[in-house]
């Protein structure tokens, strides 16, 4: 009985250890309570990749390893790495955020006009891995900011969000783009949940 309790406590502690962390830098979530629509934009510049000095170094390493196995595989990987942003991560963020609100009470969307813009600046991205017998979740860190669309210098809110992990259901997440997209879904869920509390 004591052994089962110890295991349960370890699992509980572990779940708290890896929960998302939000550090508000400017304003507060209360400042967003009257906003019902955001023009959404994403920024991946100066992206940090763990164990690499730069994103360029990461790509060179991953591409060369794939080229050794199959000619052209490196370029396929590079294209997928960038395409996944618009094809997977951003739609997942939008879907996850918007479904947290009833009757479109609050919405985010790309390429729309709105008085306020929400910027999702990805600071760190780790793809994780799944090789069947071993796996590790994808992880991202981001700064989410809200500013007046017509005057970006007027920042209403800004927060750093860390320890955001992504994984597929039942461990069926062999594709890195899928794992990372699930991290963006969790990021959106966390932001929407905080906004929901103040409205």
One digit per residue, the tens of pLDDT, for the chain of length 199 reads 554 444 444 443 333 345 779 999 999 999 999 999 999 999 999 999 999 999 999 999 999 999 999 999 999 999 999 999 999 999 999 999 999 998 889 999 999 999 999 999 999 999 988 877 788 899 999 999 999 999 999 999 999 999 999 887 656 667 888 899 999 999 999 999 999 999 8
Pairing of strands 138-148, 151-166: antiparallel
CB 168 within 8 A of CB 139: no
Q: Give me the number of domains the chain comprises.
A: 1
- Residue 158 inside a domain? The answer is yes
- For the chain, the residue count is 199
Q: Is the entire prediction scored with pTM above 0.85?
A: yes
Quote the domain boundaries for residue 155.
23-198
- Residue 15 inside a domain? The answer is no
Q: pLDDT, tens digit, for every residue of 152-168?
A: 999 999 999 999 998 87
Residue 10: per-residue pLDDT: 41
- Residue 5 inside a domain? The answer is no
The C-alpha angle with vertex 41 and arms to 57 and 130, in degrees rounded to 5, equals 45
- Residue 81 inside a domain? The answer is yes
Backbone dihedral angles phi then psi of residue 71, each to the nearest 5 degrees: -60, 130
- Residue 146 inside a domain? The answer is yes
Residue 171: per-residue pLDDT: 64
Residue 133: per-residue pLDDT: 77
Residue 15: per-residue pLDDT: 39
- Residue 27 inside a domain? The answer is yes
Helix/strand/coil for 54: coil
- Residue 176 inside a domain? The answer is yes
- Residue 14 inside a domain? The answer is no
Cα 109 to Cα 12, 97, 112: the distances in Å are 36, 10, 6
User: Burial of 175 by CB count in 10 Å (0-12 exposed, 13-18 middle, 19+ buried)?
Assistant: middle
Residue 5: per-residue pLDDT: 43
């Amino acid at each position: 009985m004591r052994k089962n309790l110890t295991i349960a406590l370890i699992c509980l502690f572990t779940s708290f250890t890896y929960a998302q962390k939000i550090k508000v830098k400017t304003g507060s979530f209360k400042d967003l309570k009257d906003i019902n629509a955001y023009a959404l934009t994403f920024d991946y510049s100066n992206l940090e990749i763990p164990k690499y000095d730069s994103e360029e170094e990461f790509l060179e390493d991953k591409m060369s390893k794939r080229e050794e196995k199959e000619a052209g595989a490196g370029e396929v990987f590079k294209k997928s790495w960038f395409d996944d942003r618009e094809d997977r991560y951003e739609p997942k963020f939008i879907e996850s955020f918007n479904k947290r609100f009833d009757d479109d009470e609050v919405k985010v969307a790309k390429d729309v006009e709105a008085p306020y813009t929400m910027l999702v600046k990805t600071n760190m991205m780790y793809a994780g891995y799944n090789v069947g017998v071993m796996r590790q979740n994808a992880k991202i860190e981001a700064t989410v900011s809200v500013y007046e669309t017509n005057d970006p210098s007027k920042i209403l809110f800004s927060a750093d969000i860390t320890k955001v992990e992504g994984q597929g259901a039942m461990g069926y997440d062999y594709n890195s783009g899928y794992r990372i997209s699930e991290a963006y879904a969790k990021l959106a869920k966390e932001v929407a949940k905080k906004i929901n509390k103040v409205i």
